[in-house]
Amino acid sequence: MTHTTLSAQNLEHGASASRWTTVLWILWIILIIGGVIGVVQRLMYGHLAAGYGSYVPWGLWIGLYFLGIGISGGSFIIGAVGFILGVPGFSKPSELRMAIVLSIAAMIPAFIGVDLDLGHMERLYRVLTAPTFTSMIAFNAWMYNIFMIVAVVTWLLSFKNGSVWLKPLLVFGAFLSILFPSQSGVFFEAVRINEFWHSPILSVLFLASAISLGAAGLLLARSVYGLRLATASDRNDEYHAVNWLRIILVLGILVYVVFEFAEFSIALWTTGPHSPNVEFLLFGDYWAVFWILHVLLGIVIPLVLFGTSQKGLWALAALLVTVGFAAARMCILVPGQISGQIPGLQQAFQDARLTYSYHPTSMEYLVGFFMVAVGMAIFYVGMRLSAALASRSQQQA
Amino acid sequence: MKKPHEIMDRREFLLAGGLVGAGTVAAAAVIVKDRLPEAPQDPTGDSTVRNLTVLKNVKVQENEDPHVRMQRELVKAMSKPVEKRHWIMVIDIRKCIGCHACTIGCVAENKLPPGVVYRPVTTQEFGEYPNVQIRFLPRPCMQCDNPSCVPVCPVKATWKRPDGVVVIDYDKCIGCRYCLNNCPYGARTSDLGRYHTTGEASGAPAGKDRPVEGAVSQWEHEPNNEYAKRWDRKGHNSPAGNARKCHFCLHRLEVGQLPMCVTTCIGRATNFGDSNDPDSLVVQLITKNNVQTLLPHWRNKPQCYYIV
């Protein structure tokens, strides 16, 4: 949603600002209406309208949860490191705030998704009040909450000139932002009885994708939202920033591809315990998610678009990368759950929820819409609030 | 881009290092603390001794039915404190005929809703006609001595009791289903709040006995007695929304009854008892036969043995 207080002249993409505003408002209204319908269905009928069960216990919302966590961690790392190092286009408080707001806006919907996935949503607080740190869920939950506090405090400190705590907290926040996306990988790696997940490469994949997603989110946010670019120097910095984001994105994608290839090529070269999972993903029921959504839409087309000099196409590429990594999350999540270890278990006691297959239902997609809509709304409100507070602190100064 | 000395002054650098260091130490401390052995959550000692009178007046006979023998051994085991017992199950798959009576008995005993099963029986076919063999494999919870499902619970809602049974506290479980993904045997299922009788009215004959459209029959709201407590799922109360699993019918053991799957086994294929009792049937069976456990390579140390 475009900042309505900014004039078109102040925006680098001013000519397209009003068009973006209309498009985004329409998109948001569609997402929120659909999303509310989904959430109402979830609250009224529980998990009955969902596609997951006991043999595939996690579905779309967990995939989107890890997507949100990735965007959150990645945008904070990039914003904090760019600000501390004084990288042009990242060194101003307003540019730092955009990264922090995006980080928070991505994490809150992730919490919503995971809470709606619980069998007892009302007991979510127990993860904080009675945790067991042998579980990655408890460890991650605590880290997310500490990170959220750090993010909010750094956002507040960014309005204050010369705060001695800002940079140390940014370093601490960046440290957490490296840890928790990696721990998203550990969340799966720690499942020691699952050959497909129990691989240290997942941490690298999740970290690489988090940095790519953060860069994609920031590139998209800068393209459709726009920051105040009053001078030629500002516009130059903005160009450099977007270019940096493009480079980070391309590198992140390439690292992801290399490690993903390393993981899958072994399983295909020599048949091992997790070869059926890889074959299911590459050539089975999930081939379209992998080849079309993840590889074609999320990797090949974005790399081609990033090769052009059109910034509008870079924004499109960033959007596709986000969709592609959402698919990539599902490519880790679902194949890891589709093969049981006891032969004939699915046939032993037949029920729709006792099958080794999963397809998200319309209710799950609608709740996914809700998560995206909430994220967009938080980002919009956060940026409006940032602008208002920055203006007030300037007046006071 | 700033020059290296402009990035942070010494004070900021020390503060940043302090925060990162303190965070790392705190994280390591909580991880180590939770990995250390804890005192049992369950009561132990004399309060757990049960002086049961089952079969007290029935004389021991030579060659008596294994069920009667196991019942006696159960009473004997219950007369010890809980930490002195160690329940195991021994399934002789040579005797299993695949009748599924154990599965159904378990469903009835624990009032399991659709999609929740504690003891399915798998069927495996070997060879080609006419040299075909069918093997039935009942799969209860293995009550592993090194359970992979327990440490992943984020809220301490599942643990291993002193008598070896892995249990779930339905009042604590948040329903995250992480434990489901951490059981190699698929022994945990999620209670998603479903009922057998929803939609019972469709196709039912008209008349005063016709079920109400969309309503759940009253019998499905009868509470079950797992863990010797009263559980009513109405209104999505626990155990609806929770992970659920076989618990060797702990509520039956408390009153001197064998687990339902043992009682209903018409082929006498399922045996149950205290492995700490050297004279027990289960100890005899696992020492005199070629027993195997399922998926031993995961090192979960399952406590359900199969005679093959």
Smallest Cα distance from B119 to chain A, Å: 9
CB < 8 Å to A146, chain B: 23
Per-residue confidence in pLDDT tens, chain B, 308 aa: 777 778 888 899 999 999 999 999 999 999 998 888 887 788 899 999 999 988 888 888 888 999 999 999 999 999 999 999 999 999 999 999 999 999 999 999 999 999 999 999 999 998 999 999 999 999 999 999 999 999 999 999 999 999 999 999 999 999 999 999 999 999 999 999 998 887 766 666 666 666 666 778 888 889 999 999 999 998 889 999 999 999 999 999 999 999 999 999 999 999 999 999 999 999 999 999 889 999 999 999 999 999 99
Q: CA B19, CA B25: separation in Å to the nearest integer?
A: 10
Of residues A117, A337, A344, nearest to B123 (C-beta): A344
CB < 8 Å to B184, chain A: 193, 341
Cβ–Cβ gap B184/A120 under 8 Å: no
Cβ–Cβ gap B20/A172 under 8 Å: yes
Which chain B residue's Cα is nearest to A89?
A: B1
Which chain B residue's Cα is nearest to A124?
A: B174
Q: CA B245, CA B189: separation in Å to the nearest integer?
A: 7
Which chain A residue's Cα is nearest to B13?
A: A168
Partners of B307 in the β-ladder: B92, B291
**Looking at the complex, does the CB of residue B30 fall below 8 Å from at least one CB of chain A?**
yes
Q: How many other CB atoms sit within 10 Å of the CB of residue B18?
A: 12
CB < 8 Å to B124, chain A: 343-344
Handedness of CA B189, B193, B197, B200 (dihedral sign): negative
Nearest to B185 by CA among B297, B95, B269, B267: B297
- pLDDT of amino acid A216: 97
**Looking at the complex, does the CB of residue B255 fall below 8 Å from at least one CB of chain A?**
no
Q: Are A200 and B49 in contact (CB under 8 A)?
A: no
- pLDDT of amino acid A312: 86
* Residue-wise burial string across A121-149, b where 16 or more C-beta atoms lie within 10 A, e elsewhere: bebbebbeeebbbbbbbbbbbbbbebbbe
Of residues B16, B137, B181, nearest to A167 (C-beta): B16
Cβ–Cβ gap B181/A58 under 8 Å: yes
Cβ–Cβ gap A53/B182 under 8 Å: no
Smallest Cα distance from B199 to chain A, Å: 13
pLDDT bin (cut points 50, 70, 90) of residue A228 is low
Cβ–Cβ gap B124/A344 under 8 Å: yes
Could you report the per-residue pLDDT of A24-73, keeping only the tens digit for each?
A: 899 999 999 999 999 999 999 899 889 999 999 999 999 999 999 999 99
Q: Are B187 and B248 in contact (CB under 8 A)?
A: no
Q: Are A69 and A180 in contact (CB under 8 A)?
A: yes
Q: Are B67 and B258 in contact (CB under 8 A)?
A: yes
Backbone φ and ψ of B166, nearest 5°: -85, 120
Cβ–Cβ gap A342/B294 under 8 Å: yes
Which chain B residue's Cα is nearest to A56?
A: B181
Q: Are A119 and A132 in contact (CB under 8 A)?
A: no
Q: Are A169 and A149 in contact (CB under 8 A)?
A: no
Residue in this structure with the two tokens 């992140």, named with its chain if needed = A252
Tokens of residue A114, six digits: 């995971």
How far is the CA of A230 from the CAs of A11, A237, A238, A311, A390, in angstroms?
Answer: 8, 11, 11, 19, 15
Which chain A residue's Cα is nearest to B117?
A: A349
| Max Cα-Cα span within chain B | 92
Q: What percent of chain A has pLDDT over 90?
A: 78
Tokens of residue B84, six digits: 């002195």
Three-state secondary structure readout of chain A: CCCCCCCHHHCCCHHHHHHHHHHHHHHHHHHHHHHHHHHHHHHHHCCCCCCCCCCCCCCHHHHHHHHHHHHHHHHHHHHHHHHHHCCCCCCCHHHHHHHHHHHHHHHHHHHHHHHHHCCCHHHCCHHHHCCCCCCHHHHHHHHHHHHHHHHHHHHHHCCCCCCCCHHHHHHHHHHHHHHHHHHHHHHHHCCCCCCCCCCCHHHHHHHHHHHHHHHHHHHHHHHHCCCCCCCHHHHHHHHHHHHHHHHHHHHHHHHHHHHHHHHHHHHHHCCCCCHHHHHHHHHCCCHHHHHHHHHHHHHHHHHHHHCCCCHHHHHHHHHHHHHHHHHHHHHHHCHHHCCCCCCCHHHHCCCCCCCCCCCCCHHHHHHHHHHHHHHHHHHHHHHHHHHHHHHHHHHHC
Q: What is the mean pLDDT of residues A315-335?
A: 95
Q: CA B239, CA B231: separation in Å to the nearest integer?
A: 7
Amino acid of residue B122: T
Q: CA B173, CA B77: separation in Å to the nearest integer?
A: 30
Residue from A133, A149, A176, A240 to probe the interface with B (highest B Cβ count within 10 Å): A133
Could you report the per-residue pLDDT of A173-191, keeping only the tens digit for each?
A: 999 999 999 999 999 999 9
Cβ–Cβ gap A119/B295 under 8 Å: no
Burial class (CB in 10 A: 0-12, 13-18, 19+), B133: exposed
Which chain B residue's Cα is nearest to A115?
A: B176
Nearest to B121 by CA among A347, A351, A338, A357: A347
The CA radius of gyration of chain B, in Å to the nearest whole number, is 25
Of residues A132, A165, A175, nearest to B15 (C-beta): A165
Could you report the per-residue pLDDT of A341-392, keeping only the tens digit for each?
A: 999 999 999 999 999 999 999 999 999 999 999 999 999 999 999 999 998 8
| Average pLDDT of chain A, as a whole number | 90
Q: CA B147, CA A41: separation in Å to the nearest integer?
A: 36
Q: What is the ipTM of this complex?
A: 0.90
Cβ–Cβ gap B192/A48 under 8 Å: yes
Residue in this structure with the two tokens 């002789």, named with its chain if needed = B92
Backbone φ and ψ of A334, nearest 5°: -75, -50
- pLDDT of amino acid B213: 64
Smallest Cα distance from B142 to chain A, Å: 13
Show Cβ contacts of residue A392 under 8 Å, excluding neighbours closer than 6 positions: none
Show Cβ contacts of residue B265 under 8 Å, excluding neighbours closer than 6 positions: B101, B102
* Distance from the Cα of residue B106 to its chain's centroid: 12
Of residues A48, A168, A336, nearest to B12 (C-beta): A168
- pLDDT of amino acid A3: 42
Q: CA B245, CA B141: separation in Å to the nearest integer?
A: 7
Q: CA A250, CA A252: separation in Å to the nearest integer?
A: 5
- pTM of the shown model: 0.91
Cβ–Cβ gap B174/A127 under 8 Å: yes
Handedness of CA A308, A314, A320, A324 (dihedral sign): positive
The CA radius of gyration of chain A, in Å to the nearest whole number, is 21
Backbone φ and ψ of A67, nearest 5°: -65, -45
Could you report the per-residue pLDDT of A204-219, keeping only the tens digit for each?
A: 999 999 999 999 999 9
Q: CA B12, CA A242: separation in Å to the nearest integer?
A: 28
**Looking at the complex, does the CB of residue B212 fall below 8 Å from at least one CB of chain A?**
no
Higher pLDDT, A234 or B179: B179
